[in-house]
């Protein structure tokens, strides 16, 4: 069976009550490809608002979780709190958190384990900087990030990998279809060797980095690109066209 196409919208720290309602209403009113799984990730303050308004069959993701169930962790949200609130996914390991908040591979892996054990799906981000790409270290960087998770999590059935080259995020510089396909194929090969043949076959690998409705169609045709994690363009009406780009 083929892998179901997956499109996630990462709103980052954008939006307010009105604009998030507008985005959700726009998605609700659209004719969406029924074969594509759609997940939106608003800022945590608006998770419940999005869940309440988003139509059934579409899911809501947090942009982060903590790896402890409760306690004195000011500013954090637990997996249990999200699950109780009808939130079914979380993004983890986004490069903005790895770089700005200095989250390391071990912490991302620990949060991934907590999320999976607690019943959330995880959109697990990985990706290299421009400097690392120019030093031919892309595959090494990405597989090291993933290995930290594989050491802690054996069941990858609820993990969706998002390959997001840092140099392409929010820059307008999208990876070429060949660049993206090459890394996606290498990730799949790595999954086969380090996790299992089943994980390699079934794990969705998304591309993220300046995806728009103009480039999504070509990217979607690549054999190892199973969808997108979309930042800036997920705030715009054309997000619907990206969702439908696999048709």
Q: Report the greatest alpha carbon distance in the chain.
A: 47
DSSP state of 6: E
CA distances (Å), origin 57, targets 26, 191, 214 = 15, 29, 26
From the list 9, 42, 121, 209, which residue makes contact with ligand PEP (rule: CB under 6 A)?
A: 209
Judged by CB under 6 A, the stretch of 20-28, 44-52, 109-117, 224-232 that binds ligand PEP is 224-232
The verdict on 169 binding ligand PEP (CB under 6 A) reads yes
The verdict on 93 binding ligand PEP (CB under 6 A) reads no
From the list 15, 165, 227, 232, which residue makes contact with ligand PEP (rule: CB under 6 A)?
A: 232
Judged by CB under 6 A, the stretch of 48-56, 75-83, 226-234, 236-244 that binds ligand PEP is 226-234
Tally Cβ neighbours within 10 Å of residue 108.
25
Map the footprint of ligand PEP across residues 170-199, applying CB under 6 A: 170
DSSP, residue by residue, 122-179? EEEEE---HHHHHTT-HHHHHHHHHHHHHHH----TTEEEEE--GGGTTTS-PPPHHH
The verdict on 127 binding ligand PEP (CB under 6 A) reads no
From the list 116, 166, 211, 243, which residue makes contact with ligand PEP (rule: CB under 6 A)?
A: 211
Judged by CB under 6 A, the stretch of 78-86, 151-159, 179-187, 228-236 that binds ligand PEP is 228-236
Give the 3-state secondary structure of residue 30. Answer: coil
Q: Least distance to ligand PEP from the beta carbon of 18, Å?
A: 21
Structure tokens given for 153: 């999590």
What is the set of active-site residues?
A: 94, 164
191 and 159 Cβ atoms separated by less than 8 Å: no
Q: Using CB under 6 A, count the residues that bind ligand PEP.
A: 13
Return residues touching ligand PEP (CB under 6 A).
10, 164, 169-170, 208-211, 229-233
């Amino acid at each position: 069976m083929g892998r179901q196409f997956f499109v996630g919208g990462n709103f980052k720290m954008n939006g307010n009550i009105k604009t998030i309602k507008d985005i959700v209403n726009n998605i609700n009113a659209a004719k969406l490809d029924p074969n594509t799984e759609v997940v939106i990730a608003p800022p945590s303050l608006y998770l419940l608002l999005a869940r309440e308004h988003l139509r059934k069959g579409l899911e809501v993701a947090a942009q982060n979780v903590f790896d402890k169930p409760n306690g004195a962790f000011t500013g954090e949200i637990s997996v249990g709190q999200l699950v109780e609130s009808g939130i079914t996914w979380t993004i983890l390991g986004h490069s903005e958190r790895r770089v700005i908040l200095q989250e390391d591979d071990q912490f991302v892996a620990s949060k991934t384990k907590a999320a999976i054990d607690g019943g959330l799906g995880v959109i697990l981000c990985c990706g290299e900087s421009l400097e690392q790409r120019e030093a031919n270290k892309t595959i090494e960087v990405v597989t090291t990030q993933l290995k930290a998770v594989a050491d802690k999590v054996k069941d990858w059935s609820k993990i969706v990998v998002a390959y997001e080259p840092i140099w392409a995020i929010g820059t307008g510089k999208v990876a070429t279809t060949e660049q993206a396909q090459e890394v996606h194929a290498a990730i799949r090969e790595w999954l086969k060797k380090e996790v299992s043949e089943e994980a390699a076959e079934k794990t969705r690998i998304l591309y993220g980095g300046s995806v728009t409705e103009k480039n999504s169609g070509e990217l979607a045709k690549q054999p190892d690109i199973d969808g997108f994690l979309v930042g800036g363009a997920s705030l715009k009406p054309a997000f619907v066209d990206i969702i439908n780009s696999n048709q």
